[in-house]
Amino acid sequence: MNAVLQFLASYSNIIDLCLLNSLIGYALFLSLSANMFSLATGGFMALGAYCSVYMTMELGLPFSIATVAGAALAGVSAALIGAPVLRLRGDYFMLATFAFTEVVRVIALNWDSVTGGALGIVNIPRDTQTWHLALVLIAAIYLVHTLRGSYFGRAIAAIKQDEVVAGTMAIDVFKYRLLLFVANGFACGAAGAFAAHLNYFIGPGDFGLLRSVDALSYPILGGLNALFGPIVGAVFTTVLPEVLRFSNQLREILMGGLVVAIVLYLPGGALSVLDFKIGRPRNGKAVAETLRAKP
Amino acid sequence: MIGAALQVDQIAKRFQGVVAVSNISFVAKAGEVTGLIGPNGSGKTTTMNMISGLYAADSGRILLDDRELTKIEPHRIAALGVARTFQNIRLLPDQSVLSNVLLGAHRSHHANLAEVLARLRRVGVEERALNERCRTLLDEVHIGHLAATAAGNLSYGDRRRVEIARALASSPRLLLLDEPAAGMNHGEKARLADLILQIRRSGITILLVEHDIDLVSKVSDHVVVLNFGREIAEGTPAEVRSAPPVIEAYLGREDA
């Protein structure tokens, strides 16, 4: 028992990060399930982070309200940018969402009075508790699981595979995409608020392109057809750099190599290994198609 | 009457200057089978795509009973009761036959997002009822035993049947069949004709785009013939078959 507590104490940081990244993984799982390769994650997280920090530190509001407000702000901005941008096809959508993340970063860099500019904001209260993250993550899993089992899930799967067919089945493709994108923004905003209150510090560099690309990799590495894919991908990419700490220089290279290996040999994501065991057909092809498909 | 009347009025479509359809008008009467035939490139599929909203017509109007379909999105047209199949079968290959057909029943679901997330009892009841209806439909098109099979693993003829079942699952008032007999052998075609007549008996209006004149003659009440994007003849199957412009379009001119 003592050993377990000790373990938890020394690794609590990593556990928090795993939970946080898993949450981000589910946010991206939602958008990817309708073929939306969003690079807006960094932008949404920055909105959630700065908004919530402003509310807790400047306005003295409780952390819970600040988190919900940060998430809501990100959700609303997802609706605002989603309405025009979701009409764009594949790569253009990706570029537009990347532009959004950049715009938010540049604003954060220059709006000194609110964001602290390039220096960022320090001494943020460490309000995020592990159980907060766990609770929100469980809620996200429940949401995804229930959606997948419903006719909404069937409609989303149809949009992913053939949106023309989805349209002729009376499915409002645009409405579904917008809803998923708003849900994605809301969850990323919440994750941003949690991240800000976990690290004592936030700066404009925390929420850039790298963050957005990492976020995309969680559900893709874990498996887009598996409910627990985002967790597996997020934990993998969070823990691996720690495990590889013994070789500081090789770390990044090994990490990259492993990611390439997974994409090459398990195109359905890490969890497609399970499909072998249970004897179901491999779904690797489906994901490869997703990567190629244009929304 | 379940079926709705389709009125196509002077519709035209150009693709970068190439005229695909020019000023076609016809009526598909409620509850009847209307055949739309013509050689390759005569504008049949373009017409069908305009009716289902995948292409916007450059001019003209399309009416379902008294509702105008022109310029509204495909999903709204589908919600008004227009279902279609595709010439190049478009099923979700890695999903089961039943899930494919359930997709057609999308508009029959009434539970909203909150009810689904709260897992209310009636959400499950609705789901089971629609499941049951789709299974019945599969039985009606004689592929009930394939419900759990992945759609991609079926034979060509059976995949056509799944597409038709999926279209029927939406309880359509107008069913558009885009070359349903393409690639079918003789036996499959005969069974398809029976299926079309069976659907007709249920009162649904059918617009059948087809190459195969024998099939069209067998099932259609009324036939419209297109060539080079224009309407060249119209009438009962017998009338159309003996019309000189039709013979010319299919066989060439006698003096040529």
Within this chain, do residues B212 and B99 fall inside the same structural domain, yes or no? no
Structural domain containing residue B237:
1-81+172-256
The pLDDT value recorded for residue B53 is: 93
pLDDT for A223 equals 84
Residues of chain A positioned with their CB less than 8 A from the CB of B95: 157
Quote the pLDDT of residue A290: 44
- Looking at residue B255, its pLDDT comes to 60
Q: Is B86 a member of any domain?
A: no
Residue A206 in this model has a pLDDT that exceeds 80: yes
pLDDT of residue B220: 94
* Distance of residue B151 Cα from the nearest chain A Cα, in angstroms: 13
Pull the structure tokens for residue B241.
């078959």
Pair B159, B184 in one domain: no
Encoding tokens for residue A194? 């949690």
Q: What is the mean pLDDT of residues A22-36?
A: 94
**B98 → chain A, closest CA residue:** A154
Q: Which range is least confidently modeled, A6-20, A42-56, B92-106?
A: A6-20
Q: Give A131-184 pLDDT, tens digit per residue.
A: 999 999 999 999 999 999 899 999 999 999 999 999 999 999 999 999 999 999
Is the pLDDT reported for residue A120 higher than 90? Answer: no
User: Pairing state of beta strands B6-15 and B59-64?
Assistant: antiparallel
Q: Judging by beta carbons within 10 Å of its beta carbon (0-12, 13-18, 19+), is residue A100 exposed, middle or buried?
A: buried
Instruction: Look at chain B and report how many structural domains it folds into.
Output: 2
Nearest CA in chain B to A161: B92
Of the candidates B129, B149, B169, which is a domain's last residue? B169
CB B221 within 8 Å of CB B33: yes
Burial category of B125 from C-beta neighbours within 10 Å (exposed 0-12, middle 13-18, buried 19 and up): exposed
pLDDT tens column, A65-111: 999 999 999 999 999 999 988 888 778 999 999 999 999 999 999 99
The model carries a pTM of 0.88
Percent share of chain A, pLDDT over 90: 52
Please tell me which residue, B173 or A288, carries the higher pLDDT value: B173
Please state the domain count of chain A.
1
Interface contact B116-A152, CB threshold 8 A:
yes
Question: Of A25-34, A270-279, B97-106, which range is least confident?
Answer: A270-279
Nearest-CA distance A251 → chain B (Å):
38
User: Of B115, B139, B169, which marks where a domain is finished?
Assistant: B169
Q: What is the pLDDT of residue A293?
A: 43
Sole residue written with tokens 């994108």? A181
**Residue ranges, chain B, pLDDT below 70:** 1, 253-256
How large is the ipTM? 0.88
Instruction: Indicate if B101 and B25 belong to the same structural domain.
Output: no
Domain boundary among B126, B141, B169: B169
**Percentage, residues of chain A above pLDDT 70:** 91
- Residues B164 and B180 reside in one and the same domain: no
Neighbours of B1 (CB within 10 A): 11
In the predicted model, is pLDDT for residue A20 greater than 50?
Answer: yes
Phi, psi (deg, nearest 5) at residue A161: -85, -35
| pLDDT for position A294 | 39
Mutation pick from A35, A168, A289 vs chain B, by most beta carbons of B within 10 Å, is A168
What CATH number does the domain containing B37 carry? Answer: 3.40.50.300
Triad B147, B162, B173: Cα angle to 5°: 120
* pLDDT at residue A267, as a whole number: 73
